[in-house]
Amino acid sequence: MTVSTPDSLFAELAAGLAELKLDLSTAQAVSLLAYTALIAKWNKTYSLTAIREPERMVSHHLLDSLAPLPQFKGQASEKIRILDVGSGFGTPGIPLAIARPDWQLFLLDSNHKKTTFLRQVIAELKLTNVTVLTERVELYKPEAPFQIITSRAFAELAEFVKLTQHLLAPEGEWAALKGVYPFEEIAHLPATVKVTAVDHLKVPGIDAERHLVHVVKV
């Protein structure tokens, strides 16, 4: 059995970022790996994720969260506001916040233990562009709407749209991370919204389908 070392994990992350054509600094890569170290530490008590091997955390939590980054609407813009619904232990929100410090990430989850973990991550990694919200999404009333609302395994598309439609900016979009192509979920979307694109994502180190579904209001 191969024992993961900081150098081997850094090499795995660097190779994955290169494959995704994401140009992050060494400091950003260090922060991403520090995030996985915090997941591993808290996982012993809080059971945040079933994935416990550090090298699988790199592929399944870091690279899986960052793969859709180039496909986000307005991704070249500064100061974009993104809501990560059902953020759990922070994916994709925390990796996105590290990769794009000019964006404002809002991580929402109703689970107090998970949001306690997220606040610890923010404090230890000094992430000034992240806000954690312990709230039920349907009850959340933000000061301003969001240009992008995303989620990773939060709910089926129709439910995701229904619960968050009051939070989306007029020209904004939902960007839902899915596994296999969600034909049935797309078919069940209401007539008030439409799918503008479904991007197939190739995530380094993951031999499974990944898709990013873009949805807008009609």
pLDDT tens-digit series, residues 42-53? 998 888 888 989
pTM: 0.95
pLDDT tens-digit series, residues 84-119? 999 999 999 999 999 999 999 999 999 999 999 999
**Using CA atoms, how far apart are residues 158 and 190, in angstroms rounded to an integer?**
7
Q: What is the pLDDT of residue 28?
A: 98
pLDDT tens-digit series, residues 176-203? 999 999 999 999 999 999 999 999 999 9
Q: Among 42-46, 64-68, 75-79, 83-87, where is mean pLDDT lowest?
A: 75-79
**Using CA atoms, how far apart are residues 7 and 73, in angstroms rounded to an integer?**
34
Q: Is residue 75 scored above 80 in pLDDT?
A: no
**Among 153, 14, 183, 170, residue whose Cα is nearest residue 85:** 153
Q: What is the pLDDT of residue 27?
A: 97
Q: Is residue 3 scored above 70 in pLDDT?
A: no
Beta sheet of 146-152, edge-to-edge order = 130-134, 104-109, 81-85, 146-152, 168-178, 210-217, 193-201
Per the CB < 8 A criterion, the answer to whether 192 and 172 are in contact is no
Q: What is the pLDDT of residue 1?
A: 41
Structure-token pair, residue 190: 């209401």
pLDDT higher for 54 or 128?
Answer: 128
Give the end-to-end CA distance of the chain in Å, rounded to a whole number.
53
Q: What is the pLDDT of residue 6?
A: 85
Q: What is the pLDDT of residue 10?
A: 96
Mean pLDDT of the chain: 94
Average pLDDT over residues 152-175: 95
Q: Is residue 25 scored above 80 in pLDDT?
A: yes
